[in-house]
Amino acid sequence: MKRYNPKEIEPKWQKTWAGQGIYRALDFDESRPKFVMLTEFPYPSGDGLHMGHIREYTLGDILARYKRMTGYNVLYPMAYDAFGLPTENFAIKNKVAPQVATETNAANFQEQFESLGYSIDWSRSFKTTDPDYYKWTQWLFLQFFNKGLAYQEEIAINWCPKCKTGLANEEVVNGTHERCDTPVEKKELNQWLLRITDYADRLIDGLETVDYPSRIADQQINWIGRSRGAVIKFKVEGSKSKQIEVFTTRPDTLFGATFMVLAPEHDLVEQIATEKQRKNVEAYVKQAQAKSEIERQDTNREKTGVFTGAYAINPISHEKVPIWIADYVLSGYGTGAIMAVPAHDERDHGFAKKFDLPIIEVVQAPKGFEGCYTGEGEMVNSGEYNGISSSEARDKIVAALANKDMAEEQVNYRLRDWIFSRQHYWGEPIPIIHCKKCGAVPVPDSQLPVKLPPVEHYEPTDSGESPLAEIEDWVSVDCPKCGGAAKRETDTMPNWAGSSWYYLRYYDAHNDRAFADKKKLEYWGSVDLYLGGMEHTTLHLLYSRFWHQFFYDIGLVPTPEPYLARRGQGIILAEDGSKMSKSKGNIVNPNEILDAGYGADALRLAITFLAPYDQTTPWSSETVGGTHRFVARVWSLVQEYLERVQTPISKVQSQDNAASQQILRETHKTIKKVSEDLHEMNFNTAIAALMEYTNALYKIKSDDDFDAREWRSSLATLLQLLAPFAPHIAEELWHDLGYKSTIHTSDWPVHDDQYLIADMMNIVVQVNGKVRANISVAPDADKETILQAAKTEEKVASYLKDQHLKKSIYVSNKLVNFVV
Ligand code: ANZ
Ligand code: ZN
């Protein structure tokens, strides 16, 4: 019998498939619907593919293969996201050029990819660090610049002192740099920013047109943080001109505003603090500056603050209210000042309690409610607004004040513009030339790409300047506008730049006249399904939606959203349930599993079988042992069939002739289950169904009148259903059965309902031990159902009529006896 050796068959088929180009996606194929299956492309690090990658790309591959077999023109592409700090740090440490390190790492990744049998169209691959690619990243940046959406500003930015680079807000997690966990500092630098805030509404509203899991959509909505409210003006008592503007989402509570709070950094603080309070105020401002924003936003913290000595006038009640400063009010949000409503805002409540300030209820809390009521209700203590609902009062109060120019409706966002410069070598140079006369001038299209020059040292500098600034003859250029002496921009783009549009490049990866051809962009449209990690929700996923929406607005792409559907896969943990990490030494290396002889098919099955795809789950070496045994059983089944029957299946005319009803039922049940499961992305239960099916095929061997020909109707189907998960063994056995062309472009089996109707079971019904009837019930019917059916059977019912039923006996699957 032919032996199962994945090390032999897997490389053989990988080579054959590549040679035949069976996974190549066809541009402009109008005979089939298209399907773009996107998985987040990897960063080619020196460590190679890890188990998280294997999970993501295997799931993507299963879907790509399934879609292909069900008649789609599938594009399953892959490339490398290669700019960024890890390679730069590696280059600095090992004294190799990042270009060289990237080549080596990507080649290593590529080899690993190929050993896993993914159905990737490699003809469309690239690295974001290829000048042919980043030429277009630079060109796209200039489209933002030309429309005023890329601008420079001197601002205090988040600075990572370890990586020596500025960071976008999205890269700061709990006050630390998300890559290296170093606490982030503030630094004043002249920065490039992208005006993502112009797209805040679109980024929220667009979510309604796509299919994203709610936790992903919610995270984006919260990050953007749209809140509708009003800006209300308070006059400062004793001053003609000074007024304090506050942003509030609850103008209805204005009668309850019993004090005001300014952020310690607020411009007015210095001007309004009275002589008597000045010392206290100055000391407090100093103390507040030492605190991080994260600390200041912590709601559980003890409230601190000082009175400025000044008062403001509540514009609606005309009451005098004291003005305080406190660090729980942030200078960077709203107007940096609030009207405090201690009866209905938790933070204000805590503050009022601590400093003994008046608390006036203005929205009636439900009966029995204790504490600080933040909901809606009927207005009280609010003059002419008493008795109406708080939502109605909200509009009326703003309207009344707006008449006197004391209020204005406003929408605020938590989202800030995207800080887009990095002070590092290994990124796309920002294609701008600074001229004393003409200002910031874009590099002309004909001079793109602005290539990274070779440098001696890749180390970032302490001054906050990129190492490119030291290369005098690269920096000094003529101004493209006036020809005068000018200097290149030396900052580079963040590593999120190349990934913001990479999916579009797959549609036309080698185009040197455009980032992609219009017709091809139209043919492929939006990505149909995008699989990736949860950690990118407010970074890559938000950034690329912004780029795409802008491209749509300027007519570069035909669709308003880049990804029609998004799914997030869970994390693979170490066997003991902890996070895999180098420092813990608990990383499972996929190469070791392949080398151990399990094979790619068993690995692919195992990582899919572990748990539902979106769950975080520990790796299990037992599982890969199990899936290896499973495919080996499929192998033996086919070999045993071939030994017994000899005629290749493909030569048999009517396959169903010899098939038993039992096998047909199992077959069609499995087709239905696996198809539905793949549609719903229930990959692990699809594998379980294939295992059951295989067991069922083995089981019929023990029948007395078993004829191996009975198997033949089912083996081809089993292999086809298995093909997306374990493509190599499926292909090998398919050819063993005599098929000449590849299984991977064969038509996915379709189930026939007529085989699914289960045989009915016969039950004898007795009354006092005498047979009175036979009933037929479904084989999975439970005892209650069977007893009920027996009782209501006509003849039996007549025997039971007017009798006292003493006992009902049920002998499983055989008989019911009623004792009366
Ligand atoms: C009065 C009020 C009464 C408020 C009430 C809330 C409840 P979001 O939803 O986050 O936009 N606020 C405004 N600017 C602030 C700042 N710079 N620092 C700290 N807090 C600030 O929250 C808006 C609310 O947060 C505003 O509405 C304001 O408090 C506070 F029953 O005004 B509110
Ligand atoms: Zn100039």
pLDDT of residue 701: 80
Local structure of residue 209 (DSSP, 8 states): G
pLDDT tens-digit readout, 198-215: 999 999 999 999 999 999
Please write the tens of the pLDDT for every residue from 519-540. Answer: 999 999 999 999 998 888 889 9
d(CA 262, CA 242): 14
Pocket test for ligand 1, best of 226, 231, 250, 409 (most atoms within 8 A of CB): 250
Looking at the CA of 362, which ligand is closest? 1
Residue 38, SS3 per DSSP: strand
Pocket probe mutation, ligand 1, options 231, 248, 294, max atoms within 8 Å of Cβ: 248
Answer whether residue 294 shows pLDDT above 70.
no
Give the list of residues 6+ apart from residue 308 with CB closer than 8 angstroms, or none: 262, 269, 272, 273, 274, 277, 281, 322, 323, 324, 325
Half-sphere exposure of 463 (CA within 13 A, CB side): 8
Q: Considering only residues 663 and 403, tell me which one the structure prediction assigns the higher pLDDT.
A: 403
pLDDT band at 755 (very low <50, low <70, confident <90, very high): confident
Selection from 64, 120, 38 nearest residue 563 by Cα? 38
| Higher pLDDT pick, 77 / 763 | 77
Of 3-7, 234-238, 286-290, give the lowest mean pLDDT range: 286-290
Residue 458: per-residue pLDDT: 84
Summary count for the chain: helices (H), strands (E): 25, 27
- Cα of 537 from ligand 1 centre, angstroms: 26
Residue minimizing CA distance to atom 22 of ligand 1: 249
Give me ligand 2 centre to Cα 41, in Å: 40
Is the pLDDT confidence value at 657 over 70?
A: no
Q: Which residues are near ligand 1 (CB < 6 Å)?
A: 227, 247-250, 253, 329-330, 333-334, 336, 338-339, 341, 344-345, 374, 412
Q: What is the mean pLDDT of residues 298-313?
A: 90
Pairing verdict, β 761-767 and 770-777: antiparallel
Task: Report the Cα 742 to chain-centroid distance in Å.
Answer: 34
Q: 656 pLDDT band (50/70/90 cuts)?
A: very low
CA 249 to ligand 1 centroid distance, Å: 6
Residue environment code for 12-21, b if the CB has 16+ CB neighbours within 10 A, otherwise e? ebbeebeeee
Q: What is the pLDDT of residue 649?
A: 60
Bigger pLDDT: 704 vs 165: 165
pLDDT in tens, 61-73: 999 999 999 999 9
pLDDT in the model for residue 456: 82
Report the amino acid identity of residue 83: F
Residue 64 or 665, more confident: 64
Confidence band for 4, pLDDT divided at 50, 70 and 90: very high
Percent of the residues in the chain that have a pLDDT greater than 70, as a whole number: 97
Across 169-190, average pLDDT: 85
User: Best-predicted range by mean pLDDT among 107-121, 165-179, 283-297, 745-759?
Assistant: 107-121
Find the 810 Cα to ligand 2 centroid distance in Å: 97
Q: Does residue 612 surpass a pLDDT of 70?
A: yes
For residues 603-619, average pLDDT: 97
DSSP class of 539: T
Contact between residue 693 and residue 718 where contact means Cβ atoms under 8 Å apart: yes
User: And the tokens for 117?
Assistant: 């049998």
In this structure, which residue's CA is closest to atom 10 in ligand 1?
A: 227
DSSP 8-state symbol, 183: B
- The reported pTM is 0.85
| Mean pLDDT of the chain, nearest integer | 93
Of 85-89, 240-244, 626-630, 780-784, the poorest mean pLDDT is in 780-784
Write out the DSSP string of 699-723. HGGGSTT--GGGGHHHHHHHHHHHT
**Of the ligands numbered here, which is closest to the C-alpha atom of 479?**
2
Rounded CA separation 224/201 (Å):
9
Place of tokens 């206290």: 280
Considering only 416-420, 462-466, 672-676, 798-802, which range has the smallest mean pLDDT? 462-466
**Is pLDDT above 60 for 652?**
no
Counting atoms of ligand 1 from 1, which one is nearest the CA of 340? 1
Tell me the CA–centroid distance for residue 564 and ligand 1, in Å.
Answer: 35
pLDDT at 651: 56
Q: Which ligand is closest in space to the CA of residue 266? A: 1
Bond before 454 cis per omega within 30 degrees: no
Q: pLDDT (tens digit, 9 = 90+) per residue, 325-377?
A: 999 999 888 999 999 999 999 999 999 999 999 999 999 999 999 889 999 99
Is a pLDDT exceeding 90 seen at residue 510?
Answer: yes
- Cα 540 to averaged position of ligand 1 atoms, centre (Å): 29
pLDDT in tens, 470-489: 899 999 999 999 999 999 99
